[in-house]
Amino acid sequence: MFSTRGLLTRTFKAEPGAADGRVSERAYRTLRRSVVVATATVALVPLIITTFMNYVQYRDALQAEAVRPMERLTLNTKRSLELFLSERRSALTFLVHDRPFADLCDERTLMRMISNLNRSLEVGAFVDLGLIDDHGYQLCYSGPYELSGRNYMDQDWFHEVARLGTYTSDVFLGFRNSPHFAIAIKHDRDDGAFYVLRATIDADMLSEQILTVGLDRSDDVFLINRDGVLQSPSRRYGEILQTFPIPVPNYSPSVEDVEVLDTRGEKVFMSSAYISSSPFILIHVKPAREAMGRWFKLRSELIGFLVISAALILGVVLWGSGLLIRKLRDADERRAALYHHMEYSNKLASIGRLAAGVAHEINNPLAIINEKAGLLQDLVTVGPDIENRERLIASVDSILRSVQRCKKVTHRLLGFARHMDVKTETIDLESLLKEVLGFLEKEAEYRNVTVRFRVDPNLQTIRSDRGQLQQVFLNILNNAFAAVSEGGEIGIEITGEGADRVAVTVGDNGTGIPKEHLERIFEPFFTTKEGIGTGLGLSITYGIVKKLGGEIRVDSTVGEGTRFTVVLPVSREG
Amino acid sequence: MDHLKVLFVDDEEELVSAVVERLDLRGIDAVGVTSGDEALHRLRGGSFDVVVIDVKMPGIGGIEVLRTINRRHPEVKVILMTGHGSAEDSEIGRRLGAVAYLQKPVDLEDLLMTIKQASNRGEGDHADE
């Protein structure tokens, strides 16, 4: 059995091209990455594009919706302010042209006129009236201030009215040191000179004209002049006559809307309208975050939708690709394991055939030796006494004993070869295990390994496949022999497990298997004997035991040893 | 036992001669031949109680001879013998009514006992090796 045992042992440990049947980890990772990237791209790109288009459309629509009421309010206020100013201009124009100078230049007349004007115009708002000659002197004045005799020659408004005939000033402090604006109407006299009827109106009156219906706290509607000076108080930009910090919008006859960054760094929507025949520009400012409240909510929802959808898609893609790759890997491994198993079985079968051939070839001459030696023994024993008879008999005995040893070896080999084919037969497990141990007895002898047997006396025979079981136990015993050191011990125990099962436990006092390896030892290609083992032995063993309707258990403690238990049904089904 | 006639068939002449001589020494009337043809020829000529025959031989093998014996000489008991011993051969042998199936090298005492059992009881109920 010498050389043949070596051959068998090597077959269990040899590496029949373990790597070539399998796909590397890296290839699976690359494949998974490609699957994830491709699937995610196909799923995510349309989602992102659609969401982006929705984003832009919704933003534009909601912005237009937010700006429209501002625009409407600005336009209405512009009309109301223009009406306010034009009414007052018309009234003053009527007066200055209707009354002769002498009538006008009377303080009481002026006072009565103020009173009448304020009564006839719903919101009169006139503070005072004055009559100024073409040298800028205030000839007559009626009002709460002491302004008679004042000279306005140096003031811009006087020159403007002289030039244009009618003039509405922007808000200023003037002599009275209170914000107001003036409307002045020029009347040309027949003698070529002229005089000007000038009325002042409190700046507050302008503010009162600004429509406040439909405004909320964040709306800021106010007037500026063309130099960017506030003409009415602003909630955001300060009091009257302070400077408006945003550049003055360019002239346009209609309402203009812009989105600007104000001094606070805040994005605001600004509607503006030039008030005709006046220096005023109506400004309506609303912070974008207030105006676009709905948009911001919708934007959060859109972004949330995108993020959740993308996360879901990615999750499903990752899960799906993981599953796919796992299945693929399982299939690959199963195929590789099957391939190796077949290769292994073929090898075993070849060895079996070889062993049988060798055994047969040896058995015939062995039979001749046996019979010839037997005949010699017969002749010497029954024939006449000859010289050295005893020595001759002893020699023949020795030959016959040797023949018996050879016979044992060849019969064992034949027994191994005979059971290559799958076949259910009645098996005495004890003799089967002893037969398998026969292959390892020399190793046990050389390494001084003790093998102990303990067999349940009530043990019954089982119906199973002898050849497959030989493989199983040869593999487990091989592992046990590999695990024990010189002088080690291997215990084999065969006991009944219930009425219909038999357990064979092979225990050793070897190195033991670490816990992290223990969970994986039945996995195909798992090996701790890198370069020596294929990692298939125990997986094949596991497969065979399962096929035979049994199960295999292992428990091990590092430093104490390992116990493999093979539980087999008494009668094999299927 | 005194007049037990045994035909021993094996292609190894050396083996045949030794076995025949040893059986003779034990009072068995043994005849040895080295082929299946020869065996069938001998069977036609004389009556044998037991035929011990090698399964694998050049020409007509043991199984073939067994079939012929079953047909022509059903009273003759057959013991099969092989150096190979495949499960199928053993099974076929049993089915065809061989009384025993022995593996080479056969211990002469075992052979003798099997021959005696075969001839005495007319049935081979002991197990092969």
Q: How far is CA A507 from CA A79, A82, A541, B13, in A?
A: 105, 109, 16, 51
Quote the ipTM score: 0.84
Q: How many beta-carbon contacts under 8 Å exist across A and B?
A: 66
Intrachain domains A99-207 and A215-291 with the same fold: yes
| Residue B50 pLDDT > 90 | yes
Q: Among residues 375-434 of chain A, which lie with CB inside 8 Å of chain B?
A: 375, 378, 382, 403, 407, 411, 414, 418-419, 421, 423
Segments of chain A with pLDDT less than 70: 1-23, 122-124, 211-214, 348, 412, 415-423, 524-525, 529-536, 572-574
Q: Using the beta-carbon criterion (under 8 Å), do A360 and B21 form an inter-chain contact? A: no
Pairwise CB contact (< 8 Å): A419 & B85:
no
Q: What is the C-alpha separation between A202 and A187, in angstroms, rounded?
A: 24
Residue B49 confidence class, pLDDT cut points 50, 70, 90: very high
Cα distance between residue A70 and residue A73, in whole Å: 5
Mutation target vs B (from A368, A400, A408, A425; most B CBs, 10 A cutoff): A368
Mutation pick from B8, B28, B84 vs chain A, by most beta carbons of A within 10 Å, is B84
Name the residue in chain B with its Cα closest to that of A361. B83
**Cα–Cα distance for residue pair B31/B43, rounded to 1 Å:** 11
Write the burial class of residue A475 (CB in 10 Å: 0-12 exposed, 13-18 middle, 19+ buried).
buried
- Looking at per-residue pLDDT, the higher value among B124 and A412 belongs to A412
Q: Domain A215-291 maps to which CATH number in 3.30.450.20, 3.40.50.300, 1.10.10.10, 1.10.1330.10?
A: 3.30.450.20
Q: Do B18 and A421 touch (CB under 8 A)?
A: no
Asked if B105's CB is within 8 angstroms of A411's CB, the reply is: no
CA A487 to chain centre: 58
Q: What is the fold of B9-121?
A: Rossmann fold (3.40.50)
User: Is pLDDT above 80 for B20?
Assistant: yes
Report the chain A residue with the minimal C-alpha distance to residue B105: A367
The answer to whether the predicted template modeling score (pTM) of the entire model surpasses 0.80 is no
In B, what residues contact A, Cβ < 8 A? 10, 12, 14-15, 18-19, 21-22, 25, 56, 83-87, 103-108, 129
Segment B20-30 mean pLDDT: 91
Residue A117 to residue A112: CA distance in whole angstroms: 8
The pLDDT tens digits of the residues spanning A520-538 come to 777 766 777 655 555 667 7
Q: For A143, phi and psi rounded to 5 degrees?
A: 170, 180
Burial degree of A346 (CB within 10 A; 0-12, 13-18, 19+): exposed
- For B46, which DSSP code? S
Percent of chain A with pLDDT over 90: 28
Distance CA(A508)–CA(A504), nearest Å, equals 13
Domain ranges, ordered by start, for chain A: 99-207, 215-291, 419-569
CATH of domain A99-207: 3.30.450.20
Question: Min CA distance, B76 vs chain A (Å)?
Answer: 25
The per-residue pLDDT for range A381-401, each reduced to its tens digit, is: 887 888 888 888 889 999 998
Give per-residue pLDDT as tens, A288-336: 888 888 888 888 998 999 999 999 999 999 999 999 999 998 888 888 8
> Hey, what's the torsion of the CAs at A162, A164, A165, A171, to 10 degrees?
-80
Whether the CB of A60 is below 8 Å from some CB of chain B: the reply is: no
User: β-pairing, A501-508 with A462-465?
Assistant: unpaired
Q: Please write down the long-range contacts of A393-402, taking CB distance under 8 Å and 24 or more positions apart.
A: A399/A369, A399/A373, A400/A370, A400/A373, A400/A374
DSSP string, A45-79: HHHHHHHHHHHHHHHHHHHHHHHHHHHHHHHHHHH
Contact B18 A359 (CB under 8 A): no
Which among B86, B87, B105 is the nearest to A367, CB-wise? B105
CATH 3.30.565.10 fits A419-569, yes or no: yes
CA distance A337 to chain B (A): 29
At residue B8, the 3 state secondary structure works out as strand
- Identify the CA nearest to B81 among candidates B36, B45, B119: B36
Q: Tokens 């043991």 belong to which residue?
A: B62
Residues in B touching A418 (Cβ below 8 Å): 85-87
- 10 Å CB burial of residue A47 (0-12, 13-18, 19+) is middle
What is the rounded CA–CA span in Å between residue A566 and residue B7? 48
